[in-house]
Amino acid sequence: MSGKHKARKRFGQNFLTDQKIIERIVATIAPKHNDNLLEIGPGQGAMTLPLLERVNQLNVIEIDRDLIKILAAYNKSNLVINQGDALNFDLNLFNPPIRVVGNLPYNISSPILFHLLDNRDKIIDMTFMLQKEVVERMSASHGSKIYGRLSVMMQAFFEVELIFVVPPESFDPAPKVDSAIVYLKPLKSCKVGDIDIFEKVVKAAFSHRRKTLRNCLKSLLTQEQTGVDLSQRAEMLDIDTFITLAKDYEKQY
Ligand code: SAM
């Protein structure tokens, strides 16, 4: 199958070929017949075909028109193919709440995650293949060197779990790095107030990793305006402390 279509680097195309891994991903998703499933980047259907056997209907979003032709040729009555860019697709079109899955194009995985973060109220859960290094950053704990903006933004809104690691040989063409399956579920009681303010504070806090919060946040907050000790570096703060910091900044508005 992959012989017919030449993988396009600009669309981050690394097609899954390892059947055991595909089965493990489908088992992780554990789809039920009535699930409202959306797959981002179905490619040539490596995950799509086994998923179609388990659900009454599957929506997919694919950007590459050549792949759309391959998918359409399967003639599956329960497959709804949407051609377009997952980065600006309106999720309301899929009759939310939805479960989102996909082996994401690695070159745009962060913007896709942030687009989905903005749409979290429409999402039941998400199961994605991403670069292992990205999943490790998403799930890192405070105090670790890789804990940063992505860790805080994801963990403030989702339960984040690295499920298993996938080696490069499971794909054609093989990526240069390890991949991993991550499971994300919106938190039932998210404590963040204004998301734009939260994002602004988190971004500023990590703008210079070696500097203290006092330095990074100097245009936003002074030590007198918050109970959080600003002599620390951002990587030492847990999620709840970031939420407190953002709320203290919000009070200054
Ligand atoms: N799911 C397939 C598999 O596992 O073999 C393909 C995975 S491949 C890593 C990523 C897929 O996302 C490709 O099919 C690519 O064309 C598609 N893609 C890339 N950018 C996209 C975008 N902005 N919106 C939708 N699909 C995109």
Q: What b-and-e string marks burial along 95-121, b requiring 16 or more CB atoms within 10 Å of the CB?
A: eeebbbbbbbbbebbbebbebbbebbe
Q: Which of 1, 10, 15 to mutate to test the pocket of ligand 1 (most atoms within 8 A of CB)?
A: 15
Q: What is the pTM of this model?
A: 0.96
Residues with CB under 6 A from ligand 1: 11-16, 40-43, 46-47, 61-64, 67, 85-87, 103, 105, 108
Q: Residue 2's Cα: distance from chain center in Å? A: 26
**Which ligand 1 atom sits closest to the C-alpha of 48?**
1
At 187-203, the pLDDT tens digits run 999 999 999 999 999 99
Alpha carbon nearest to ligand 1 atom 21, residue:
63
The per-residue pLDDT for 252 is: 86
Q: How far apart are CA 107 and CA 140, in angstroms?
A: 21
Each of the 253 residues of the chain gets a pLDDT tens digit; together they read 445 789 999 999 999 999 999 999 999 999 999 999 999 999 999 999 999 999 999 999 999 999 999 999 999 999 999 999 999 999 999 999 999 999 999 999 999 999 999 999 999 999 999 999 999 999 999 999 999 999 999 999 999 999 999 999 999 999 999 999 999 999 999 999 999 999 999 999 999 989 999 999 999 999 999 999 999 999 999 999 999 999 999 998 7
* Structural domains of the chain sorted by starting position, each given as residue range(s) with its CATH number in brackets: 2-186 (3.40.50.150), 195-250 (1.10.8.100)
Contact 130, 179 (CB under 8 A): yes
